[in-house]
Chains A and B, each alone.
Chain A
Amino acid sequence: MYVEMKHIYKTFDGFQASKDVSFGIKKGQLAALLGPSGSGKTTILRMIAGLDMPDSGDIIIDGTRVNNLPASRRGIGFVFQNYALFRYMTVADNIAFGLQVQKKSKGEIKARVEELLELISMADLGKRYPHQLSGGQKQRVAFARALAPNPQLLLLDEPFAAIDARVRQELRSWLKDMIGRVGITSIFVTHDQEEALEIADLIIVTNHGAVEQAGSPEEICEKPQTDFVREFIDVKRWEAMKAVSLTQSPHPRS
């Protein structure tokens, strides 16, 4: 297991945000934390990142217990729900920020920024400021910024929540494609099951701070283990999606 959560508990001012959370994610997997709002999925993501501290339990990344490692030293890429792009820096400066922190040479930074701008197909927009970008472009910049320092793990908090329904579909397949190309272990949070079913290899269903079930999309849909999962997952939609993907190309990953 590349990322492992073992018996994590967390309370905020008396509110139980995580109850005995345990799961594991293999290297290279794209995992989804799926659940209704308030089910504790973002808290789990923030604890992996080091932005929140668990009250008890172990967080293990690549065989090392990281509970006491500050967020800035965990080497994890994080894409925030509202992107949190630095408003007073250009797109290129945003992407370069993590590399400057690592005290990379100017030439190295320039080359890496150009490479990433190329990757997100925004090669000529490096001099723009965030307020001059569309929602989808901001999302891509946030993705490039998180990837710039070459993290081994990428976390995404509701990556499509702030985007128009129209562009969402397109961006979803773009992101899946990108993550596949970079080959980075990734975890994203969503409350949209279609999103999770479509792009994740592993789905972790949460409810009331606890993990209900973790498994592949097939397992979650075809063998729900709890009443909650059975009610929460719309099996008809899964069957429709499966029918579509069978008639089209085979699954691009796994």
Chain B
Amino acid sequence: MEQQIIKIKNKRGIRVIPGFGLCMGVTLAMLGCLVLIPLASIFFSAAGLSAPEFLGVVTSRQVVSGYVVSLSCAFFAAMINAVFGVLLAWVLVRCDFPGKRLMDGLIELPFALPTSVAGIALTYLYSDQGWIGALFARIGVKIAYTRIGITIAMVFVGIPFVVRAVQPVLEKLDRQYEEAAMMLGAGRGRIFFRVILPELFPALLAGFGLAFARGIGEYGSVVFIAGNIPNKTQIAPLLIMTKLEQYKYSDATAIALVLLLLSFALMLLINSLQIHMQKFSGSDNTGDGIHSLRKVIDPHRDAKRPSMTVLLIGSGVLFLIVMLVLPLIVVISNAFREGWAVYKASVLDEYTVKAFGLTLFATVVAVAVNTVFGLFAAYLLSKFYFRGRQVLATLIDLPFSISPVIAGLVFILTFGNIGWMGPFLKAHNIKIVFAVPGVILATVFVTFPFVFRELFPVLNAQGKDEEEAAALMGAGGFTIFRRITFPHIRWALLYGVILCTARAMGEFGAVSVISGHLRGKTNTLPLHVEILYKEFNTTAAFAVSSILVILAIVILILRNLVEWRK
């Protein structure tokens, strides 16, 4: 989340590359309409509340308990992810073993798997009758429907963040630091804690912050395993959801506003810590800040102390199997529990097929919109210098740190009956909330930064010399883009599109808030899974989930293929 952009040279120079106005216009228009204006609605609505009303809501026992549960569980989950994230990154960078590529490819599973699917699979696994839950039940530990369960679900969704933040830093880390410590007689433990860990710390902090923010906002994977016992296992996003279902929009807004401010404060704190740490690194390798979620594999030789290596690899593999592979097996085995015929019937059910259609439609639109935005915004921020680049980059990243439930809420507050655009829409008979456009808008919102984030680092690293040379030879803006820029970003673009597709298909929280759950009309596949599960039709729920699991695996395979091509 650190937003250090490499300063473009020739700051005050004349803009040689054409297209500044167009890029700026498109970027600001899309960012404004799709993110900023809806997000502003939450502040407008909150401004309508009187202070005692507002305080009354956010200091009620249930709400305070919700904040405490969300924050504490997210904190512990992020700590667990910090430990295992560093361990996994270490194993992936420094060790060589069969199945490493597979392990590496699995890390992004929580991005690709819809949160509702993860939620029901984890609940099944950790309930008292579940494979793991039963083991713990015997020694008297309850996992599902307690805060332990919530923490586990939050660990699941946060796995990729620390690994992918630390991995590239570890790869680039100069071996000389370790060798210097070794020559001074230091053992492995001291070298790791005194020399390597401080080097990894800024990246670790960034990953920790993202995992923490994601945990605080997480809804889909947590609600099932939480059990939602008032004052005990109710998370803050769930309280927002409950208030919305009771049509208490002002209460929901108040709760959401505090949650939003909490996560902003957290990100601000982590950002400033990071800037402080960057002082030490001198002018070299500070990086461009906006990290792609991609990684590179380049094994270093590390043959000493095989027992330690085996222990590290073993715990990494065990962690991934328990956290990622077992939930997948739960889904597949439960889907076929009642045989092929029942599976086929559930998958080919009329509503399932309709939900599948809507999911595809929303995904295609979201990916298309965000690709257009990503291209214009990344080109704008990497090829032109202007005041406020930094601010713009931060704004684009906003949807990353916002709870999906709040993302849904902002659209209700904008376009719903009580929203400020409500009367206008009603007069012209346009339905957005509880209708397909709302589902699409929510999907676009949560996946907004994905393509941009993949394109920007590549474009930024490439500089703008080639474009300037072409412009000086008289090429027009479109020709420059097509002939000069595009060949550089082909793979990054494809990669961004794949990640965006994964996230769009699986979005649950935001869509859940805004869809109204109209079966056959506004139900997407992840929502359909939830409905079936709540109707105790678990086999069907798992059967539908299995489609999503297969899609997630296909996406992961595609992602890795693209990775290898580069």
- The interface of chain A, by Cβ under 8 A from chain B, is 49, 51, 70-73, 75-78, 80-82, 84-88, 97-98, 101-102, 129-131, 145-146, 148-149
B186–A87 contact, CB under 8 A?
Answer: no
- The interface of chain B, by Cβ under 8 A from chain A, is 174, 176-177, 179-187, 190, 194-195, 198-199, 201, 279-282, 304
Q: List the A side residues contacting B194 at CB < 8 Å.
A: 86, 97
Across the two chains, which residue of chain B brings its CB closest to A145? B184
9 A-B pairs within 8 Å (CB atoms) are namely: A51-B182, A75-B185, A84-B174, A87-B199, A88-B199, A97-B194, A101-B186, A129-B280, A146-B183
Q: List the B side residues contacting A76 at CB < 8 Å.
A: 183
**Other than the known A87-B280, A148-B184, A149-B184, what 11 A-B pairs have Cβ atoms closer than 8 Å?**
A51-B183, A70-B182, A75-B185, A76-B183, A77-B183, A78-B183, A84-B176, A84-B177, A85-B180, A97-B194, A98-B184
Across the two chains, which residue of chain B brings its CB closest to A75? B185
The 9 closest A-B pairs by CB, nearest first: A98-B184, A84-B176, A88-B198, A78-B183, A131-B282, A84-B180, A101-B185, A71-B182, A87-B280
Residue of B183, B187, B199, B304 with most partner-chain A CB within 10 A = B183
Among candidates B174, B184, B280, B304, residue contacting A82 with C-beta atoms closer than 8 Å? B174
User: A129–B195 Cα gap in the complex (Å)?
Assistant: 14
Across the two chains, which residue of chain A brings its CB closest to B187? A72
A82–B176 contact, CB under 8 A?
Answer: yes
User: A71–B187 Cα gap in the complex (Å)?
Assistant: 10
Across the two chains, which residue of chain B brings its CB closest to A99? B184
Across the two chains, which residue of chain B brings its CB closest to A133? B282
B176–A97 contact, CB under 8 A?
Answer: no
B198–A97 contact, CB under 8 A?
Answer: no
User: A86–B280 Cα gap in the complex (Å)?
Assistant: 10
A149–B185 contact, CB under 8 A?
Answer: yes
Q: List the B side residues contacting A73 at CB < 8 Å.
A: 185
User: A13–B145 Cα gap in the complex (Å)?
Assistant: 55
A97–B186 contact, CB under 8 A?
Answer: yes
B282–A87 contact, CB under 8 A?
Answer: yes
A131–B185 contact, CB under 8 A?
Answer: no
Among candidates B184, B198, B281, residue contacting A131 with C-beta atoms closer than 8 Å? B281
Q: List the A side residues contacting B182 at CB < 8 Å.
A: 51, 70-72
Q: List the B side residues contacting A145 at CB < 8 Å.
A: 180, 184
Q: List the B side residues contacting A71 at CB < 8 Å.
A: 179, 182-183
Q: List the B side residues contacting A149 at CB < 8 Å.
A: 184-185
A97–B174 contact, CB under 8 A?
Answer: no
User: A77–B183 Cα gap in the complex (Å)?
Assistant: 6
A102–B185 contact, CB under 8 A?
Answer: yes
Across the two chains, which residue of chain A brings its CB closest to B277? A88
A51–B282 contact, CB under 8 A?
Answer: no
For the complex, would chain B's binding face be called helix, strand, loop or mixed by DSSP majority?
helix
Closest CB in chain A relative to B332 CB, distance in Å: 43
User: A120–B521 Cα gap in the complex (Å)?
Assistant: 78
Residue of A71, A73, A81, A130 with most partner-chain B CB within 10 A = A71
Closest CB in chain B relative to A105 CB, distance in Å: 17
Among candidates A49, A72, A86, residue contacting B177 with C-beta atoms closer than 8 Å? A86
User: A130–B201 Cα gap in the complex (Å)?
Assistant: 18
Q: List the B side residues contacting A148 at CB < 8 Å.
A: 184
Q: List the A side residues contacting B195 at CB < 8 Å.
A: 86
Q: List the B side residues contacting A87 at CB < 8 Å.
A: 198-199, 280-282
Across the two chains, which residue of chain A brings its CB closest to B181? A97
Across the two chains, which residue of chain B brings its CB closest to A148? B184
Closest CB in chain B relative to A210 CB, distance in Å: 25
Among candidates B185, B201, B279, residue contacting A98 with C-beta atoms closer than 8 Å? B185
B282–A78 contact, CB under 8 A?
Answer: no
Q: List the A side residues contacting B304 at CB < 8 Å.
A: 70
Q: List the B side residues contacting A101 at CB < 8 Å.
A: 184-187, 190
B180–A80 contact, CB under 8 A?
Answer: yes
User: A129–B198 Cα gap in the complex (Å)?
Assistant: 14
Closest CB in chain B relative to A190 CB, distance in Å: 18
Closest CB in chain A relative to B277 CB, distance in Å: 8
Residue of A76, A87, A148 with most partner-chain B CB within 10 A = A87
Across the two chains, which residue of chain A brings its CB closest to B190? A101
User: A71–B195 Cα gap in the complex (Å)?
Assistant: 17
Across the two chains, which residue of chain B brings its CB closest to A82? B176
Closest CB in chain B relative to A148 CB, distance in Å: 8
A80–B187 contact, CB under 8 A?
Answer: no
A78–B180 contact, CB under 8 A?
Answer: yes
Q: List the A side residues contacting B179 at CB < 8 Å.
A: 51, 71, 78, 80, 84
Closest CB in chain A relative to B180 CB, distance in Å: 4
Closest CB in chain A relative to B217 CB, distance in Å: 32
Q: List the A side residues contacting B180 at CB < 8 Å.
A: 78, 80, 84-86, 145
User: A101–B185 Cα gap in the complex (Å)?
Assistant: 6
B185–A72 contact, CB under 8 A?
Answer: yes
B176–A80 contact, CB under 8 A?
Answer: yes
Closest CB in chain A relative to B286 CB, distance in Å: 11
Closest CB in chain A relative to B204 CB, distance in Å: 13
A72–B199 contact, CB under 8 A?
Answer: no
User: A86–B179 Cα gap in the complex (Å)?
Assistant: 11
Across the two chains, which residue of chain B brings its CB closest to A71? B182
Closest CB in chain B relative to A112 CB, distance in Å: 13
User: A75–B186 Cα gap in the complex (Å)?
Assistant: 11
User: A76–B185 Cα gap in the complex (Å)?
Assistant: 9
User: A51–B177 Cα gap in the complex (Å)?
Assistant: 12
B186–A72 contact, CB under 8 A?
Answer: yes
Closest CB in chain A relative to B4 CB, distance in Å: 16
A88–B184 contact, CB under 8 A?
Answer: no
Closest CB in chain A relative to B96 CB, distance in Å: 14
Q: List the A side residues contacting B199 at CB < 8 Å.
A: 87-88
Q: List the B side residues contacting A78 at CB < 8 Å.
A: 179-180, 183
User: A51–B194 Cα gap in the complex (Å)?
Assistant: 20
Q: List the A side residues contacting B201 at CB < 8 Å.
A: 88
Across the two chains, which residue of chain A brings its CB closest to B305? A70
User: A150–B421 Cα gap in the complex (Å)?
Assistant: 77
User: A85–B177 Cα gap in the complex (Å)?
Assistant: 7
Across the two chains, which residue of chain B brings its CB closest to A86? B195
User: A73–B184 Cα gap in the complex (Å)?
Assistant: 9
Across the two chains, which residue of chain A brings its CB closest to B180? A84
Closest CB in chain B relative to A140 CB, distance in Å: 15
Closest CB in chain B relative to A12 CB, distance in Å: 10
Q: List the B side residues contacting A49 at CB < 8 Å.
A: 183
User: A73–B185 Cα gap in the complex (Å)?
Assistant: 6
Closest CB in chain A relative to B222 CB, distance in Å: 36
Residue of A80, A81, A85, A88 with most partner-chain B CB within 10 A = A88
Closest CB in chain A relative to B43 CB, distance in Å: 40
